[in-house]
Amino acid sequence: MKDPVRIAITGGAGQISYSLIFRIAAGDMLGPDQPVILQLLEIPQAMDALNGVVMEVNDCAFPLVQDIVATDDPNVAFKDADFALLVGARPRGPGMERKDLLEANAAIFSVQGKALNDNASRNVRVLVVGNPANTNALIASCNAPDLNPRQFTAMTRLDHNRALTQLAQKTGKRVTDVDSMIIWGNHSATQYPDLAHTKVAGKPAFDLVERDWYENDFIPTVQQRGAAIIKARGASSAASAASSAIDHMRDWALGTDQVVSMAIPSDGSYGIAEGIIYSYPVRCQNGDYEIVQGLEIDEFSRAKMKATEDELREERAAVEHLLG
């Protein structure tokens, strides 16, 4: 048996965690041979609810779970953490944009960035799910000067997975037939789901779908999917967000042959401002990720990539005081 790894999850009593924790405990993230120690963080008012979740995890008798820590202290939750999934944050309601949460949620991520800096494993992999995820990841990273900024990522995998299914359904194929889907930029309504490099069963996506569908149906559907779920369910996506968080961490840690979308610190690739947490197409191998380079970008794509970059620059300017 392998040594256990420590997985910190914040917002442990929330909606997303109610799916996420159980799937991680079942081995969906790191495999059926990887024991885990779950380190769950909540705010003091939610500790009763968190303890209920812990009781349920115990009641599942998951073979991989070696220990569970439930705490309201980030220094305890992040102690020696190998993975940190930062989910705990306020969700938006109908009529709000995700960036409307910036003020309410930003302070959480400066505190947690510091706690990660002081306590986590030096190789910790951090995924920010709490919205606005990209800029929250930037705040956490800037407050963790002893960790490499590349260790801080934000989730656009849900957008990526949404786009896979939209295209597979439109073309009458399966999601596994779709190759090189790309989400560029912010996890927001300005994100750019790009089909210019995507293939379906070996054929260019643009040979299979009309331009009108791409521009006026596919792109807005993916951009607005979070809002559509809130309207339909009366609450934001939870199980699908958990599933995508698992995909993101699994691929980062264990690797994948697929091109996947991850929001990561920009290194200036494709002319994007350095430092902002921008979603790129990446390949994951050997526990690391690399941006897919050399893609041709036409004028339509360039404008969309710039619009979402501009929004991230504005978000960064709005939280400058939290960036250390």
Ligand X SMILES: O=C([O-])CC(=O)C(=O)O
Ligand Y SMILES: NC(=O)C1=CN([C@@H]2O[C@H](COP(=O)(O)OP(=O)(O)OC[C@H]3O[C@@H](n4cnc5c(N)ncnc54)[C@H](O)[C@@H]3O)[C@@H](O)[C@H]2O)C=CC1
The answer on whether 15 is annotated among ligand-binding residues is: yes
- Chain centroid to CA 108: how far? 17
The answer on whether 131 is annotated among ligand-binding residues is: yes
Q: Which residue in 34, 42, 79, 115 binds ligand Y (CB under 6 A)?
A: 42
Q: In whole angstroms, what is the distance from residue 192 CA to residue 33 CA?
A: 37
Q: In whole angstroms, what is the distance from residue 267 CA to residue 185 CA?
A: 13
Q: In what order do the strands lie in the sheet with 199-200?
A: 178-179, 199-200, 203-204
Omega cis (within 30) before 132: yes
Shortest distance, position 91 Cβ to ligand X, whole Å = 6
Residue keyed to tokens 């960064």? 316
The string of DSSP letters for 301-319 reads: HHHHHHHHHHHHHHHHHHT
Q: Which does 16 bind (CB under 5 to 8 A by kind): ligand X, ligand Y, none?
A: ligand Y
Q: Which residue is nearest to ligand Y (CB)?
A: 14
Q: Which residue in 7, 8, 9, 13 binds ligand Y (CB under 6 A)?
A: 13
Residue closer to ligand Y by CB (options 56, 215) is 56
* CA distances, 208 to each of 163, 171, 198, 213 (Å): 15, 7, 11, 11
Residue closer to ligand Y by CB (options 34, 251) is 251
Q: In whole angstroms, what is the distance from residue 160 CA to residue 202 CA?
A: 19
Residue keyed to tokens 């619009």? 307
177 to 216, contacts with ligand Y by CB under 6 A? 187
Q: Which does 15 bind (CB under 5 to 8 A by kind): ligand Y, ligand X, none?
A: ligand Y
The answer on whether 11 is annotated among ligand-binding residues is: yes
Q: In whole angstroms, what is the distance from residue 227 CA to residue 192 CA?
A: 16
Residue keyed to tokens 């309201």? 72
The answer on whether 182 is annotated among ligand-binding residues is: no
Shortest distance, position 187 Cβ to ligand Y, whole Å = 5
Residue 186, token pair as written in the block: 């912010």
Q: Residue 185 — left, alpha, or beta (φ > 0 → left; ψ -120 to 50 → alpha)?
A: left
Is there a catalytic annotation at residue 248?
no
Q: Is residue 229 involved in binding ligand X (CB under 6 A)?
A: yes
Stretch that binds ligand X, among 47-55, 224-232, 275-283, 287-295 (CB under 6 A): 224-232
Q: 3-class SS at 45?
A: helix
The string of DSSP letters for 160-180 reads: HHHHHHHHHHHHT--GGGEE-
Q: In whole angstroms, what is the distance from residue 57 CA to residue 211 CA?
A: 48
Q: Is residue 82 involved in binding ligand Y (CB under 6 A)?
A: no
Q: Which does 155 bind (CB under 5 to 8 A by kind): ligand Y, ligand X, none?
A: ligand Y
92 to 111, contacts with ligand X by CB under 6 A? 92, 98
What spatial distance separates the first Cα and last Cα of the chain, rounded to whole Å? Answer: 41
Q: Is residue 163 involved in binding ligand X (CB under 6 A)?
A: no
Q: Which residue in 15, 198, 236, 261 binds ligand X (CB under 6 A)?
A: 236
Residue closer to ligand Y by CB (options 237, 258) is 237
Q: Which residue in 27, 51, 80, 90 binds ligand Y (CB under 6 A)?
A: 90
Q: Is residue 108 involved in binding ligand Y (CB under 6 A)?
A: yes
Q: Is residue 16 involved in binding ligand Y (CB under 6 A)?
A: yes
- Chain centroid to CA 316: how far? 18
Q: Which residue in 8, 25, 41, 259 binds ligand Y (CB under 6 A)?
A: 41
The answer on whether 287 is annotated among ligand-binding residues is: no
Q: What residues make contact with ligand Y under the rule CB under 6 A?
A: 10-11, 13-16, 41-43, 46, 87-92, 108, 129-131, 133, 155, 158, 187, 236-238, 241
Q: Enumerate the active-site residues.
A: 187
Q: Which residues does the annotation place in the binding site for NAD(+)?
A: 11-17, 105, 112, 129-131
Q: What residues make contact with ligand X under the rule CB under 6 A?
A: 91-92, 98, 131, 158, 226-227, 229-230, 236-237
